[in-house]
A and B are shown apart, each in its own frame.
Chain A
């Protein structure tokens, strides 16, 4: 009897030893077939069907390659369309019944830059500040700056809110960076010794430009920056007053990027005026536009050009440059964004009484609610549903006439459109009026490069590569319009990926999208998820007393006390999966572009068995591949794990449904070693010791 079989795989006639599975045969051919339930150490199971291939001979059909043995004359296709669709369908179905977060919600849904918050809090709680800072820098190169200015969308999705209050996250970045500073930091990673020789010019040294320079340097490219201001920082420095971001902090982190990473920067050099844009294009392998959106948008009302009427962004810039600004005693600010809030709060600090007029309601304000709250605390009078219609001279001062508004149905931006309330006209006397209703980008310096009807560039997909010139890229506010600094930074990290792809001759697609399982928004989560956590208190950061904020630009948020911050870091519920980096379900879902939301319907719920000191069972993440059951039975010969229930309710459980700690489990880890996801995992401490030593 021959012990070889002749088969046809993907059209090729091949010979294998009898008894070889299709999976093993594919391996020898260099074809990687995804598997979940299969493990070489264990008996065949054929449960997950992710390893499906198509058998075109005999009974034929879709077969699990892990346990189908080659037979003489067998014809197999390893990766045809039907096979790939089947694998995706299997993953779609498994994900539809997988209750877990690969990444914590703060990371995947809250932070625009996807900072590993859970990770840095963990390191911080163990006093590993340098490591924590560099974990932040993997996504954002300014932990200290963003720790102060970011409005913390992360905290809004923090699940700790289901226990007591959100973890204090934003401020921790500042604390980590300050602790690193005490240790002599910031310690940025070092760029490669050898340059790629590729020259990238970055126009604008704001948050986007500096961040792009950071990531481009770490990829070994040479970076030259042009900045029209005498210092770097862009809107961070010239748009955010020092009471929110002290200049030494900006100096520290901006300088670190430029000096530690070796970036050439030309200050006080305005492209289009001091240096020609076309020449830059000629002399660079790639050019990034990161000039922000710093030109105030006029409102178009009468009297806007009168003396005593300023733009908010100009006032903030002048204050940042320590220029003398005299606003008088009565200041009216028009607008509802961050610039309006900061202009009003700056006016208060200069001794004025400030009034904000905004045409929509407070809910529609673009400024973060914390900023609105702080402005109000400082005595700013905020008049919503109030729209200026004209500005006139009035004695020595000015008079701004407004009408009251009411909200009608939502417009295309989704915000309810304000309409004038008839006969509601009134006026406010003011010494100066600050217009802060919007900002845009002045792209006049690019001359012949087309900008679209909104005055911005069109880009290809998620690549940030402009459609007008493949070597021209765009990021930050000059791409998005005025937005959060953290979003500009996230853009910059992604554009650096694109530029790197462009410079290395790869397809320019930007940063790879990242698969993450998600169990649902706060309101949809079951209470048992939070049952193990005791309610406590959130340590709020001390603020400079309101009466001490006038006459100075001292930072409002006070120093963080180290013990408080350590306690805060430990409040993290650690929603993100501990083994996401080795999870096969996640890996395949990423590759096959699986869709967790394709099938809506019933889903398993949160259920854990954390009774055992070493082995943790997370039934809500289990995909019923039974690898743990087989490992326990076949490798360890123990039979501790088994199945309960039937159909959709089938679950893995320790024998007799007992807590694992009450079985004779000795923590041999055989089950953990074969689990393709986090159904059975090690206690985190044990896991980290194993992975990181």
Chain B
């Protein structure tokens, strides 16, 4: 990828996020306009993690110079193409980085340390060649030619790698268990059923560097003695599926998959299984049931999949990020990996930072870095500039961490001590405009809907929890509801079969723990300080600010606003449905919300 062959090389980031932001249009526009420039080539990569800058265009010059432009759209092509081709300055607003301006550094890239994401946004994911150039499949070759399965497992144990799906179980031990079970047939599964709202780490890795995951999976298969593998990926990730399929074909063509891989005795066959969208299928026993063609219901463990998994054969299931770490560990050695991170949490962790954050995107940091560094140094603080309130870690299974705990280092134990969980790496940032009851309600709405419906406390208990939250948000709560919430939350945690139910109350437990005063305000004062809970707020015209521009009048969907042009307007509270449209459209801060 580094070679330019004398050409100016344009690279557009075509991950799902980039495409959604208009990268495909940009690519096509560039393709059309660059036809007449024999000195320039156009290729694509995937996601480099800077969601807030999409679409992103990188330009590599034969002289070794390089430019990274962001927030650049089809309409900007005419403006920038000529200067880019002639290596003349372009509008500074597009420039993220420029090798000619070494001082200009995007702070988002500071404090990051890329192992899993090292190729993301760098290589063309549809081509195996760049991956091979970057040292791809050398770890597999090393394992097959020079390591016994015991050595591989020992190396994984020594690296300290823990499952990145959320639970943090040591990967080496997991492989050991699966290896220890005697069976003619074993399965190695990659869990790519990423379902947490706000989480997109796995999608980005699969779309940007699919071979890396496949390589990790094959190495795992070798270690546990499995000859068959599945990648269980949710059907909502069509681009990831497409790129995985291409990658599997390419790997098979090069004998990196199939019988007698690289002429060794080891054979490994890999299939993709598309999940139908049930969140609970990310739970390993439900995932197995789903592959078997059953309804994706979890079952009680033990027996663990390592003993009895897919079609009752020993099965090992690892998350995408876990497997993507494997080739690096094999290539660089467990000691190198273990030198990053903390005593109990080694290596790096990828987070998807979303919500009310200035610079949202995908970040990879050493374990142990304080949350504050991720939110402020990398993320640039809140997008609104309003005070930071909390960050939800671990998605709907996780918890809300308040401002005062932002110096908590990100490692499994420290995060767990706050009541949140590391989870798969979803990080949703909230500012002062976020209502904490609404947040708990949001996550419970999700988990309640996504429960498989098998066990009582998850099916009915989460519904009852949600109903109590809804009552509180509607201003109909009583103080006893807080006790009821707390009591039932503990019961749902204790008395649910799988991780979904066992973690579903976490958002409630942590928000009550850190923001009890906000709950009490909703109950006692019938007040929502963030002005989010519709039943507790009113919209009114601030008379001295109103210019009579008529914008609110025109946009009100229920005709609750009266007033003639250039006169002060008025909202009829009896008709108002509190949709907030007037507040959104008013350019003069003349609508009061609260």
Complex Cα distance A90/B492, Å? 10
Q: Is the interface of A mostly helix, strand, loop or mixed?
A: loop
One digit per residue, 1 when the CB lies within 8 angstroms of any chain A CB and 0 when it does not, for chain B 273-303 equals 0000010000000000000000101011010
Q: Decide if A94 is an interface residue (CB 8 Å cutoff).
A: yes
B4 to A: closest C-beta gap in Å = 52
Complex Cα distance A90/B457, Å?
7
| A647 adjacent to B495 (CB under 8 Å) | no
Q: Is A97 an interface residue (CB 8 A)?
A: yes
A661 at the interface (CB under 8 A from B): no
Which of B448, B464, B497 touches A599 (beta carbons < 8 Å)?
B464
Give the complex CA separation of A93 and B468 in angstroms: 14
Q: Does A207 contact B (CB under 8 A)?
A: no
How many A-B pairs have beta carbons closer than 8 Å: the answer is 99
Q: Do A86 and B459 touch (CB < 8 A)?
A: no
CA distance A89 to B493 in the complex (A): 13
Q: Say whether B491 contacts A647, CB under 8 Å.
A: no
Given known contacts A601-B467, A647-B449, A648-B451, A86 and B494 CB-to-CB distance under 8 angstroms: yes
CA distance A623 to B464 in the complex (A): 16
From B295, B449, B495, give the contact of A86 (CB < 8 A): B495
Contact size range, B:
20 to 34
Binds B, one of A59-67, A367-375, A572-580: A59-67
Closest-CB distance, A629 to chain B (whole angstroms): 9
What 1/0 flags go to A64-104 for Cβ under 8 Å of B?
Answer: 10011100000000000000001001100110110000000
Nearest neighbor of A68 in chain B, beta-carbon distance: B300
Q: Are A647 and B451 in contact (CB under 8 A)?
A: yes
* Separation of A49 and B467 alpha carbons in the complex (Å): 22
A52 B495 Cβ-Cβ under 8 A = yes
A601 touches B463 (CB 8 A): yes
B557 at the interface (CB under 8 A from A): no
Do the beta carbons of A64 and B463 come within 8 Å of each other? Answer: no
A642 at the interface (CB under 8 A from B): yes
B255 beta carbon closer than 8 Å to chain A:
no
Is B467 within 8 A of A47, CB to CB? Answer: no
Interface string of A621-656 (1 = CB under 8 A from B): 001101000000000000000110111111000000
Instruction: Report B-chain residues with C-beta under 8 Å of the C-beta of A49.
Output: 455-457, 495-497
| Separation of A649 and B453 alpha carbons in the complex (Å) | 8
Cβ-defined contact, A62 with B495, below 8 A: yes
Chain B residue at minimal CB-CB distance from A86: B495
1/0 contact trace for A258-274 toward B, CB 8 Å?
Answer: 00000000000000000
Closest to B445 in A: A647
Is B278 in contact with A86, judged by CB distance below 8 angstroms?
A: no
Contacts of A645 in B (CB 8 A): 453
In the complex the two chains form, is A647's CB within 8 Å of B457's CB? no
Question: A602 contacts the other chain (Cβ, under 8 Å)?
Answer: yes
- Contact for A650 among B459, B467, B494, CB less than 8 A: B459
* Cα separation A64 to B300 with both chains bound (whole Å): 9
Question: A165 CA to B300 CA in the complex, in Å?
Answer: 51
**A260 vs B463: C-alpha distance in the bound complex, in angstroms?**
57
- Whether B464 lies near A89 (C-beta < 8 A) is no
B residues in contact with A64, CB < 8 Å: 300, 497
In the complex, A650 Cα to B278 Cα: how many Å? 13
> Number of contact residues on A: which range applies?
35 or more
Task: Identify the closest chain B residue to A54 (Cβ).
Answer: B494
> Which residues does chain B contribute within 8 Å of A68, judged by CB atoms?
300
Can you name the residue of chain B whose Cβ is closest to the Cβ of A645? B453
Nearest B residue to A623 by beta-carbon distance?
B456
Contact status A624-B464, CB under 8 Å: no
Check: A198 CB closer than 8 A to any chain B CB: no
CA distance A624 to B295 in the complex (A): 14
**Residue B33 at the A interface, CB < 8 A?**
no
The reply to whether A647 and B295 contact each other, CB–CB distance below 8 Å, is no
Judge whether A47 and B456 touch: CB under 8 Å: yes
Is the pair A648, B302 in contact by a Cβ cutoff of 8 Å? no
In angstroms, Cα B450 to Cα A626, docked, is 18
A646 adjacent to B451 (CB under 8 Å): yes
With a cutoff of 8 Å between Cβ atoms, the chain B residues found around residue A602 in the complex are 463, 467
Contact of A96 among B297, B452, B460, B491 (CB under 8 A): B460
Expressed in whole angstroms, the Cα–Cα distance for A48 and B467 within the complex equals 21
Q: A600 — which chain B residues lie within 8 A by C-beta?
A: 467
Whether A229 sits at the interface, judged by CB under 8 Å, is: no
Collect the chain B residues with CB atoms within 8 Å of residue A121's CB.
none
Q: Which residues of A contact B451 (CB under 8 A)?
A: 646-648, 650
**Residue of A whose beta carbon sits closest to that of B298:** A46
A643 to chain B: closest residue by CB: B295
Determine whether A44 belongs to the interface, using a CB cutoff of 8 Å to chain B.
yes
In the complex, chain A residues whose CB is within 8 Å of the CB of B455? 46-49
* Residues of A contacting B302 in the complex (Cβ-Cβ under 8 angstroms): 69
CB–CB A647/B467 < 8 A: no
Contact, CB under 8 Å: A646 / B450: yes
Q: Does B454 contact A (CB under 8 A)?
A: yes
- Chain A residue numbers with a CB within 8 Å of B448 are 647-648
Chain B residues whose C-beta falls within 8 Å of the C-beta of A93 in the assembled complex: 456-457, 460-461, 464
Chain B residues with CB under 8 Å of A647's CB are: 448-453, 459, 462-463
Residues of chain B lying within 8 A (CB to CB) of residue A67: 300
- Chain B residue nearest to A87 (CB atoms) is B495
* Bound-state Cα–Cα, A599 to B495, Å: 17
Q: Which of B450, B464, B494, B497 contacts A47 (CB 8 A)?
A: B497
Judging by beta carbons under 8 Å apart, are A94 and B278 in contact?
no
CB distance from B285 to the nearest CB of A (A): 11
- The docked-state distance in angstroms from the alpha carbon of A106 to that of B449 is 37
The residue on A at minimum CB distance from B464 is A599
Chain A residues with Cβ below 8 Å from B491 are 86, 89
Q: Chain B contacts of A601 at CB under 8 A? A: 463-464, 467
Measured CA separation A90–B495 after assembly (Å): 9
Given A52-B495, A61-B494, verify A650-B453 contact (CB < 8 Å). Answer: yes
For the complex, give the distance between the alpha carbons of A643 and B300 in Å.
18
CB neighbours (8 Å) of A646 from chain B are 278, 449-453
Cα-based distance from A46 to B463 in the complex (angstroms): 19
Measured CA separation A648–B454 after assembly (Å): 10
Selected from B300, B453, B495, the residue in CB contact (under 8 A) with A89 is: B495
Q: Mark A446-489, 1 if CB is under 8 A from B, else 0.
A: 00000000000000000000000000000000000000000000
Q: Nearest Cβ distance between residue B234 and chain A, in whole angstroms?
A: 15
Q: A49-B495, A52-B495, A86-B494 are in contact. Are A650 and B460 (CB under 8 A)?
A: no
Min distance, Cβ B176 to any Cβ of chain A, angstroms: 18
Please name the residue on chain B nearest to A96 by beta carbon.
B460
Closest B residue to A651 using CB positions: B453
Given contacts A46-B299, A646-B278, contact A97 B495 (CB under 8 A): no
Q: How far is the CA of A112 from the CA of B488 in the complex (A)?
A: 35
Are A94's CB and B494's CB within 8 A? no
Query: In the assembled complex, which residues on chain B have CB atoms less than 8 Å from the CB atom of A47?
Result: 454-456, 497
Structural contact, B463 and A90, CB atoms closer than 8 A: no
Least CB separation from A98: chain B residue: B460
Task: Give complex CA distance A626, B452 in Å.
Answer: 12
CA distance A643 to B299 in the complex (A): 15
A94 vs B495: C-alpha distance when bound (angstroms): 13
Residues of B within 8 A of A44 (CB): 299-300
Question: Which of A61, A89, A599, A624 is within 8 Å of B454, CB to CB?
Answer: A624
Contact indicator B454/A96 (Cβ below 8 Å): no
How far apart sit A24 and B299, CA to CA, in the bound complex (Å)? 20
Cα-based distance from A689 to B449 in the complex (angstroms) = 42
A58 to chain B, nearest CB (A): 11
In the complex, chain A residues whose CB is within 8 Å of the CB of B464: 93, 96, 599, 601
28 CB-based A-B contacts, threshold 8 Å: A44-B300, A47-B455, A47-B456, A48-B456, A49-B455, A49-B457, A49-B496, A68-B300, A86-B494, A89-B495, A90-B495, A93-B457, A93-B461, A96-B460, A97-B460, A97-B463, A599-B464, A601-B463, A602-B467, A623-B456, A624-B459, A626-B454, A643-B295, A645-B453, A646-B452, A648-B453, A650-B454, A650-B459
A-B pairs, top 4 by smallest CB distance, nearest first, are A650-B453, A601-B467, A93-B460, A648-B463
| 4 further interface pairs, Cβ-Cβ under 8 Å (given A68-B300, A624-B453, A648-B463) | A44-B300, A89-B495, A646-B451, A647-B453
Using a CB–CB cutoff of 8 Å, the interface residues on chain B facing chain A are: 278, 295, 297, 299-300, 302, 448-457, 459-464, 467, 488, 491, 494-497
